[in-house]
Amino acid sequence: MRLAYKTDDDGPVSGEAAPVRASARLERLESESVYILRELAGFERPALLFSGGKDSAVLLHLAIKAFSPQKPPFKLLHIDTGHNFPEVLAFRDLRARQTGLQLIVREVEDSIRCGTVRLSPEKSRNAAQAVTLLEAQQEFEFDALIGGARRDEERARAKERVFSHRDAFGAWRPRAQRPELWGLFNRHIGVGEHMRVFPLSNWTEADVWAYIIQERIELPSLYYAHERDVVRRDGFLFPVTSLTPAADEAAVERISVRFRTVGDITGTCPVESEAGNAEQVLAETLTATISERGATRMDDRANSAAMERRKVEGYF
């Protein structure tokens, strides 16, 4: 099944031209991402941030295409909060085995034990990943970290360069970013500095799902409709898990949901959905009025500047 979706500012594409124009858009985006990934050949120790989520799954698929028939010249890195969904971790490990790429996992729990991260037990570990990520970057001396962030996710992401310079403390400084004209990237870094590279910058959530359909990319089952116990509160559906149990007075419902993004369990909520396959998810995505982070990430909804503040502190 080939679905048409909005490809430009002219409005929805319909009729016989729709699949052709949608396919042409995906071809252009794929070509751009492959070009960016190949630019990483100029770095000595790059690593691809691979969590097992949909964006990193697409990014890994593109990286394999970019360097085929050879393996991509970088390792996989995951910063595990210790509160990730088991289904996503199992998928992460499976893809690492299938690709033959070395998977490095560093855990926020280790940073807590050594005292570089201090959190109360009930607080989300999502933002604390920035500390563990910087520790991993320094441990392995990675000079480029490749991520699946997209500009449509959140307003702070929209300011991001494709090659995003980070200082020796891993921090993002808006005024230190370089111009990126005509597809030319300034890859120079000083001692202790590194680049965060985002090959999916110009993709949208709909583009990602259309590409998943086209390339038949496998994903964790959480991205598709399934029955789950949830509690409705503040416009969110809070999943009932061992880490996020329902309060005694809470009204627990068992409904059909899916996850638009799969982050830390304590800060990620599903949305109501009957979409059991990628085509149905794409159809829902095209009618969504709230971004995936706005609809599912509690820490982003709490403060409009939350993402930008975390990025300045070294977040992905």
Query: How distant is the alpha carbon of residue 74 from its chain centre?
Result: 18
Phi, psi values for residue 27, rounded to 5°:
-65, -40
Closest among 272, 260, 206, 273 to 235, alpha carbons compared: 272
Q: Which one of 5-14, 88-97, 184-193, 283-292 scores highest in mean pLDDT?
A: 88-97
Question: In sequence order, what are the beta bridge partners of 223?
Answer: none
Query: How distant is the alpha carbon of residue 262 from its chain centre?
Result: 9
Note the CATH number of domain 17-217+304-312: 3.40.50.620
The better pLDDT of the pair 7, 75 is held by 75
Domains of the chain, by residue range, sit at 17-217+304-312, 222-302
In this predicted model, what pLDDT tens digit does every residue of 56-68 receive, in sequence order? 999 999 999 999 9
β-pairing, 75-80 with 46-49? parallel
What single letter denotes the amino acid at residue 32?
Answer: E
Question: In sequence order, what are the beta bridge partners of 254?
Answer: 229
Q: Is 226 exposed, middle or buried (0-12, 13-18, 19+ CB in 10 A)?
A: middle
Averaged pLDDT for residues 187-206? 91
- CA geometry: angle 251, 257, 259, nearest 5 deg: 115
Q: Is 172 helix (H, G, I), strand (E, B) or coil?
A: strand
Predicted TM-score of the model (pTM): 0.86
Closest among 254, 251, 233 to 298, alpha carbons compared: 233
CB 210 within 8 A of CB 22: yes
* For the chain, percent of residues with pLDDT exceeding 90: 58
Nearest-Å Rg of the Cα atoms of the chain is 19
Averaged pLDDT for residues 267-295? 87
Averaged pLDDT for residues 60-80? 96
d(CA 48, CA 41): 13
pLDDT at 279 over 80: yes
Q: Binning pLDDT at 50, 70 and 90, where does residue 18 land?
A: low
